[in-house]
């Protein structure tokens, strides 16, 4: 495959595929995270909580595959990005993994005993497993936009010069809240389409409506903060797009508002933020008018548009360094070899359709509305 595509093209393909995998994770596991974060607010007794849980429980494990694929793609296609992000954000990633571990045991163990205290404890675990990853993922994106304190020496050894608490500054926190709102909106929209008429569905619609408005406000606030808050990096020395990977060949400098330059140079990119705003507005209208397909479609558009906005605004930068202008990681200077990217593309072309087909089949088999009667009579439900 690497003989069919130039090195530059392969790098662009994998940059695009990374975005696709992140969007796929947000669109599938996103509603599972959102349902977990919503659980204490939309369900007020054990039956109602079981209704919400059984919307997510049959497919959450398959949805989490997108998270693994995204991490694997970064590891294989952008090894320096993987090393910098997973090392620098190690404690934050540990927090995410600890929260995510609560999900499987929460699903499996909450119904093992009938005591209210036992079940409430696991319900709290499911809430943490939905809220904390949603928040930390957004905080991580905010730190990437702000710049990461990484430094490479002459031997390309990586050094991270930040701390855990340094991750939680105003822009990252705003991005974290936007991420939580985005997941809650998506989870509420999915509950609306998967639950039979019930109090849980009505509360989910109300919570989703609030989340849709929060997405619009926070997305706009983030744009204003990025534009006039001193954030952005300009590439002053561009490495050759078809040359070997060497991060020290590039130079980036902090430049206020630089993350908006791509939208000025390429107006078609405005499609991404437009999808973010219009999708959230469509989801709000769909939730208020009880148009379930519109709300789910709108929340999906919003998630895809917001994630695409970040990627397009930063291109070709992937991970900017805030402490060393020669240590920023770009599409052109941090990828694996042309041969590696080509082999990976062959594997992706073969196996990604299989994953998509299997996922579609699973959803077709598991599809249907969860009802109070089914919760009471079906022994296979959690």
In angstroms, the CA 270 to CA 118 distance is 49
The pLDDT value recorded for residue 38 is 95
Q: Tell me how far CA of residue 205 lies from CA of 109, 127, 192, 246, 284, in angstroms.
A: 28, 18, 7, 50, 9
Render pLDDT for 193-236 as a digit per residue (tens, 0 to 9). 999 888 999 999 999 999 999 999 999 999 999 988 888 999 99
Give the pLDDT confidence score for residue 355 in this predicted structure. Answer: 86
| C-alpha span between 296 and 291 (Å, rounded) | 9
Residues lower than pLDDT 50 in the chain: 1-2
Q: What is the pLDDT of residue 325?
A: 85
CA distances from 130 to 30, 161, 260, 279, 299 (A): 9, 29, 31, 22, 17
Q: Are 127 and 103 in contact (CB under 8 A)?
A: no
The C-alpha atoms of residue 371 and residue 368 are separated, in whole angstroms, by: 9
Which pLDDT score is estimated for 3?
59
Cα separation, 70 vs 137, in Å, equals 13
Distance CA 289, CA 160 (A): 49
Give yes or no for a contact between 302 and 284, defined as CB atoms under 8 angstroms apart.
Answer: no
For 14, 23, 341, 368, the CA distances from 346, given in Å and listed in that order, are 12, 21, 9, 36
Stated pTM of the model: 0.92
Asked whether the beta carbons of 379 and 104 are under 8 A apart, the reply is no
- List, in order, residues 6 or more apart from 128 with CB less than 8 Å away: 36, 99, 102
Q: Which residues contact 121 (CB under 8 A, 6 or more apart)?
A: none
pLDDT score for 305: 97
- Beta strand extents in 221-284 (DSSP E only): 233-237, 251-254
Cα separation, 103 vs 187, in Å, equals: 15
């Amino acid at each position: 495959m690497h003989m069919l595509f130039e090195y530059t093209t392969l790098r662009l393909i994998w940059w695009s595929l990374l975005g696709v995998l992140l969007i796929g994770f947000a669109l599938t596991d996103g509603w599972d995270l959102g349902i977990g974060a919503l659980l204490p607010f939309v369900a007020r007794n054990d039956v109602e909580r079981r209704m919400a849980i059984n919307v997510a429980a049959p497919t959450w494990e398959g949805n989490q595959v997108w998270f693994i694929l995204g991490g694997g793609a970064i590891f294989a296609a952008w090894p320096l990005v993987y090393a910098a992000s997973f090392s620098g954000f190690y404690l934050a990633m540990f927090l995410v993994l600890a929260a995510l571990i609560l999900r499987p045991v929460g699903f499996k163990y909450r119904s093992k005993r009938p005591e209210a205290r036992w079940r409430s404890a696991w319900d709290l675990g499911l809430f943490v497993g939905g809220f904390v990853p949603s928040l930390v993922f957004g905080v991580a994106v905010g730190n990437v936009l702000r710049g990461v304190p990484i430094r490479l020496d002459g031997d390309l050894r990586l050094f991270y010069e930040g701390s855990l608490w340094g991750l939680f500054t105003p822009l990252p926190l705003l991005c974290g809240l936007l991420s939580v709102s985005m997941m809650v909106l998506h989870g509420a929209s999915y509950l609306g389409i998967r639950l039979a008429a019930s109090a849980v569905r009505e509360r989910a619609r109300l919570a989703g409506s609030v989340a849709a408005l929060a997405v619009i406000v926070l997305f706009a606030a983030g744009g204003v903060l990025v534009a006039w808050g001193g954030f952005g990096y300009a590439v002053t020395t561009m490495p050759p797009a078809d040359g070997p990977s060497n991060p020290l060949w590039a130079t980036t400098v902090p430049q206020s508002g630089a993350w908006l330059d791509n939208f000025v140079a390429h107006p078609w990119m405005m499609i991404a933020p437009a999808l973010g705003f219009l999708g959230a507005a469509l989801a709000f209208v769909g939730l208020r008018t009880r148009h379930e397909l519109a709300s789910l479609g709108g929340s999906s558009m919003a998630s895809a548009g917001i994630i695409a906005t970040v990627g397009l605004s930063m291109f070709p930068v992937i991970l900017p360094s805030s402490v060393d202008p020669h240590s920023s990681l770009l599409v052109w200077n941090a990828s694996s070899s042309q041969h590696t990217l080509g082999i990976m593309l062959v594997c992706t072309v073969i196996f990604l359709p299989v994953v998509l087909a299997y996922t579609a089949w699973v959803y077709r088999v598991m599809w249907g509305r969860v009802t109070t009667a089914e919760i009471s009579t079906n022994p296979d439900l959690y």
